[in-house]
Chain A
Amino acid sequence: MKKAGGYLLLLLLTVTLTSAAAHKYYVSVFQVEYAPRKKEMQITARIFIDDLDAALSKKYGKKLYLTTTKEIPEVNDYLKKYFTDKVHIKVNGIAKPVAFLDRETEDDILICYLTVPADARINTIQVSNTFLFEAHNEQQNIIHTKVNGVKKSLMLTQDTPSGTLDFN
């Protein structure tokens, strides 16, 4: 089964729309890598274009035609807004701004490049990520982090939209 209309989402938390065949699964992957020399965390986000296009078009009340020849010029502004709205990162307990750098398309996936300043030793990273949660109640946002060679991950869902990783 593919997907349910977004408007249903809040109504239907108990209904499992998972599964079936063709599938469509609702997963975004955020790879977060600490680059000490650049004093930043570099985030590579991989998101299904159709889900994102539908969600943005709905949220901002206008068809975006994301990554198509008909794409509207303000897309990057909407993307930046959406990331700011949906992705919140705290490093060592302090909220940090998420900067949207660039994006590119790979088949049906939009790859977005983002950075977060990180000038001190990283003890903890707290990630809250509700990307596309309003579109599909089974949306999963997987956060892979790599800090000084240590890999840790979070799987964020409606049930647990945020988590903290400890690198001490």
Chain B
Amino acid sequence: MKKIYYTLAFIAALQATAQTPPPAPKHEPGHTDINPFSQMYDLLATPNMFRTASGAPGPAYYQQQADYKMDIELDDKNTKIYGTETITYHNNAPENLDYLWVQLDQNQHDAKSPSKLIESQKMDAAYKADGFARRYMEDEFEGGFKLEYVKDAAGKPLKYTVNQTMMRIDLPKPLKHGESVSFSIKWWYNINNYRVIGGRSGYEHFDKDNNNLYVIAQFYPRMAVYNDVEGWQNMQFWGSGEFALPFGDFEVNITVPADHIMEATGDLQNRKDVLTAEQLKRYELATKTFDKPVVVVTQAEAEAAEKAFSDKKKTWKFKATNVRDFGFSTSRKFIYDAMAVQLATKTAMAISLYPKESNPLWGDTSTKVVAHTLKTYSKYTFDYPYPKAISISAEDQGMEYPMICWNYGRPDENGYVSDQIKYGMTSVIIHEVGHTFFPMIVNSDERQWTWMDEGLNTFLEYLTEQEYMKDYPSRRGPAAKIVPYMSGDQKFLEPIMTNSESIHQFGSNAYAKPATGLNILREVIMGHDLFDHAFKTYANRWKFKHPTPEDFFRTMEDASAVDLDWFWRGWFYSTNYVDIGITDVKQYYVTETQPKELKDATVKKGRFGQESGPFVYMVTEGPDFNKNLKKPLATADVKLLNDYIQEKFTQEERAKLKQPKYFYEVTFDKPGDMLMPIIAELTFEDGSTETSTFPVQIWRKNNQTASRVFATDKPVKKITVDPKLETADIDVANNTWPKQETQSKFDKIKAKKK
């Protein structure tokens, strides 16, 4: 019976075990490589004969060419523009092309444009009457290209298909490698008042004198890019991702009212026909004047012209070589000044056109800023290769084309110029003139990657601003200024490597963050020499070519021998942010008395051996700590050490030995996943400081913490990580030891008010 009882109990126990299964044997899953230092084979395109692993164009690199001959007429009274153009397209690709794609960017203004249908709308609670009428009752502006014909060189119509902002032309026979094809397009469109309709080009109307100031761009059907990376561009112009264009030569004749003054991409071929003899003389003087602008068309001449409304016409003839685009600006209201700029190997002209409303600000500033920009950018890249750079005063604008750009910033109606306007205007001129380098010459694809020109250009804009004036209030560049963006909610952040159309915070993502990243590379990670050489190498390798992001990333590493894959991964391919802090600081004291817990201490000898004592022990405060040790090291107090020094070194040598008295072990951690070097500043009790920078490879084992030992001759009062805010660390509350209760701005304000 008893036995049975036991058996039952045993079975019950078995059942109980069955009901609560025993813990599974410990199984830790493995993982693939997650080290942030891993080379970017998983992210970058495989190098090939077109684009090499070094980041340079490969032996099979090719690019297409598109040459244009255009006759343009601008109808000022009816704000319409008419054009006929002949495009000669050269196929340098190894393969045949059956069709060509042409960009019709003006179609974004078409009343039926789908780009107006991709924005979410909500009902507004209130409208002004005119707003309601415009929104719900009136016809929309009838923009977009009206195509009259597309013909081949023999005048025969070509078959074409328009898809939104692009047009496919079907070729009668394939265009082979090395062949060219010419065709003509006749078109016109209604010019938009950009201050009402919006747009990167159009006209601004001046109610007081009833004149228009035209800034005309993406105004003609333009060839799309065909290359080894994308084939034909197949992404429409939705509004944010700007333009990708092949290089070519332009001959453009532009007919406008006879009293207009104009500037455009390219060399003016008939200056004698369009300027007065007096103006010609002034222009000649400007070409030899390097210290200040010479006024070529005076304010008095412009004011006389804006009243005249001539019925006569004049044709301005321009030629441009190796440009990717063509833009022009024309008005009766233009004052014109110019000066010559000396670059290392050549000269160029800096030119400004502006209405009287922009003076005296523009006369005093614009052309000088253009000249400064050409010099500074040339220094960091290559000598500005074009004959001129033109800054046009166009309110509400900031837009770039080869050799010419539109820039905002005028005095208010009382003639007052605030700092915001003054610096805003200076910055926009630097930025837009700078765009002639990126992307007009270093011709990256803006439709895909806004950051490639905006980011690089904003970075050089920052350097140019700082060289223009000490402590120039740059909006973007310094690391600390990107913190509010990078510390934001991840839901509204995208990696920089995100297509132009898909970005929530365009200015921060595509302009500020890449520019700041380059600034951090230059200031903290690579140093000026290595960075500047690599950046210049990229600019020179890819000038007048089409680089991709990979070409940039690879060149920056290849030319500097600084492996930056970890940086590109973190800063460009992710939304990781920097947050490095101090978790622990322990002070150690030196003794030769063996502490209990160090009973078994050993010291390695050579590769395999072990030393046995006696040792010099490093102890820190703990339960068994001997308080008498709590003092700076005096070598004489530690006999073992003292004997060794006395015996080993001569008096002369002893005098040269360092005399460390205080020993600290500092532990750093990184709550943020973006890696950075650790910049640690020790502040001593006497107020002096010493900064150490530990290269980013201190994190190379994918470790969460890192520690360093400091031996100093003065007591450390404070340790600060990134004391000058150079790494975009998003949370500085953990950057100091001892932890400081930072008095908040609010406490200070309240204290002040009491």
Contact B427 A44 (CB under 8 A): no
B300 contacts the other chain (Cβ, under 8 Å)?
A: no
Complex Cα–Cα for A5 and B396 (A): 8
Q: Which residues of B contact A154 (CB under 8 A)?
A: 489
> Does B174 lie at the interface of the complex (its beta carbon under 8 Å from any beta carbon of A)?
no
Closest A residue to B140 using CB positions:
A14
Q: How far is the CB of B577 from chain A (nearest CB, A)?
A: 12
Q: Beyond A22-B428, A27-B507, A35-B746, is A1–B398 a contact (Cβ under 8 Å)?
A: yes
Choice from A4, A23, A38, A158 contacting B511 with Cβ under 8 Å = A23
- Selecting from B68-76, B196-204, B516-524, B658-666, the interface stretch reads B196-204
CB neighbours (8 Å) of B744 from chain A are 35, 42
- B508 x A18 contact (CB < 8 A): no
Chain A 113-150: CB-based contact to B (< 8 A → 1; otherwise 0): 10100000000000000000000000010101000000
In the assembled complex, B240 has its CB within 8 A of some CB on chain A: yes
Number of A-B contacts (CB under 8 A): 170
Chain A proximity of B490: nearest CB distance (Å): 9
Contacts of B687 in A (CB 8 A): none
| A21→B461 CA distance, assembly (Å) | 12
Q: Which of B128-136, B280-288, B311-319 contacts A (4 or more CB under 8 A)?
A: B128-136
**B473 an interface residue at 8 Å Cβ cutoff?**
yes
CB pair A1 B396 closer than 8 Å:
yes
User: Does A167 have its Cβ within 8 Å of any Cβ on chain B?
Assistant: no
Question: Which residues does A use to contact B, with CB under 8 Å?
Answer: 1-5, 8, 10-25, 27, 29, 31, 35, 38, 42, 44, 46, 48-50, 53, 63, 65, 67-68, 70, 101-102, 107-108, 113, 115, 140, 142, 144, 151-155, 158-160
Least distance between A52 CB and chain B CB atoms (Å)? 10
Docked Cα-Cα span, A19 to B507, in Å, equals 8
Among A25, A115, A154, the most chain B Cβ lie within 10 Å of the Cβ of A25
Q: How many whole Å from A20's CB to the nearest CB in chain B? A: 5
B195 touches A5 (CB 8 A): yes
A15 to B143, CA, bound (A): 13
Most-contacted residue by chain B among A8, A22, A44 (CB, 10 A)? A22
The reply to whether A20 and B484 contact each other, CB–CB distance below 8 Å, is no
**What are the 8 A-B residue pairs with the smallest beta carbon separation, nearest first?**
A22-B398, A153-B489, A25-B507, A107-B473, A50-B420, A10-B131, A22-B428, A17-B198
Task: Give A151 to B170 CA distance when docked, in angstroms.
Answer: 55
**Is B608 among interface residues, defined by CB-CB distance under 8 A?**
no
Judging by beta carbons under 8 Å apart, are B508 and A4 in contact?
Answer: no
Cβ-defined contact, A158 with B435, below 8 A: no
Stretch of B8-16, B115-123, B545-553 on the interface side:
B115-123
Query: What does the 1/0 interface line of B298-310 toward A look like (CB < 8 Å)?
Result: 0000000000000
Chain B, 440-483, CB within 8 A of any chain A CB: 454, 473-475
CB contacts under 8 Å to A, within B601-633, are none
Chain A's nearest CB lies how many Å from the CB of B420?
A: 4
Within residues 687 to 733 of chain B, which ones have a CB less than 8 A from any CB in chain A?
A: none
User: How far does the alpha carbon of A120 sit from the alpha carbon of B407 in the complex, in Å?
Assistant: 51
Bound-state CA distance A1–B395 (Å) is 9
Closest B residue to A19 by CB, please name it. Answer: B240
Do B504 and A18 have beta carbons less than 8 Å apart? no
- Which residue of A11, A101, A159 contacts B122 across the interface (Cβ within 8 Å)? A159
Beta-carbon contacts under 8 Å, B302-340 to A? none
Distance, CA A11 to CA B128, complexed state (A): 8
Question: A11 to chain B: which residues have CB within 8 Å?
Answer: 128, 130-131, 134-135
B239 and A108 contact, CB distance less than 8 A: no
Partner of B506, one of A19, A68, A152: A19
A159 touches which one: B121, B428, B508, B511 (CB < 8 A)?
Answer: B121
A25 to B119, CA, bound (A): 18
- 93-130 of chain B: CB within 8 A of chain A: 115-116, 119-122, 124, 126-128, 130
C-alpha gap A13/B131 in the complex (Å): 10
- Complex contact B196–A8 (CB within 8 A): yes
Query: CA of A20 to CA of B574 in the docked complex: distance in angstroms?
Result: 24
Chain B residues closer than 8 Å to A142, beta-carbon distance: 488, 492, 505
Q: Does B242 sit within 8 A of A, measured CB to CB?
A: yes
The answer to whether B397 touches A1 (Cβ under 8 A) is yes
Chain A positions within 8 Å of B399 at CB level: 1, 20-22
> B198: which A residues are within 8 A, CB to CB?
1, 4, 12, 15-17
CB distance from A154 to the nearest CB of B (A): 8
Q: Are B484 and A15 in contact (CB under 8 A)?
A: no
Query: Cβ of A152 and Cβ of B489 under 8 Å apart?
Result: yes
Which residues does chain B contribute within 8 Å of A15, judged by CB atoms?
A: 116, 197-198
B419 at the interface (CB under 8 A from A): yes
Asked whether A31 lies within 8 Å of B475 as measured between CB atoms, the reply is no
Closest partner residue, chain B, to A165 (CB atom):
B489
Smallest CB-CB separation from B130: which chain A residue? A11
**Are A140 and B505 in contact, CB atoms less than 8 angstroms apart?**
yes
B569 within 8 A of A: no
Would you call B121 and A25 a contact (CB within 8 A)? no
Find A14's partner among B116, B131, B511 (CB 8 Å cutoff): B116
| Residues of B close to A29: CB separation below 8 A | 484
Contact at B195–A8, with CB atoms within 8 Å? yes
Instruction: Provide the bound-state CA to CA distance between A22 and B242, in Å.
Output: 13
A164 to chain B, nearest CB (A): 14
**How far is A34 from B508 in the complex, measured between Cα atoms in Å?**
26
Give min CB distance, A153 to chain B, whole Å. 3
Q: Does B749 contact A (CB under 8 A)?
A: yes
Q: Give min CB distance, A135 to chain B, whole Å.
A: 12
> In the complex, A53 Cα to B398 Cα: how many Å?
20
Question: Is there contact, CB below 8 Å, between A144 and B200?
Answer: no
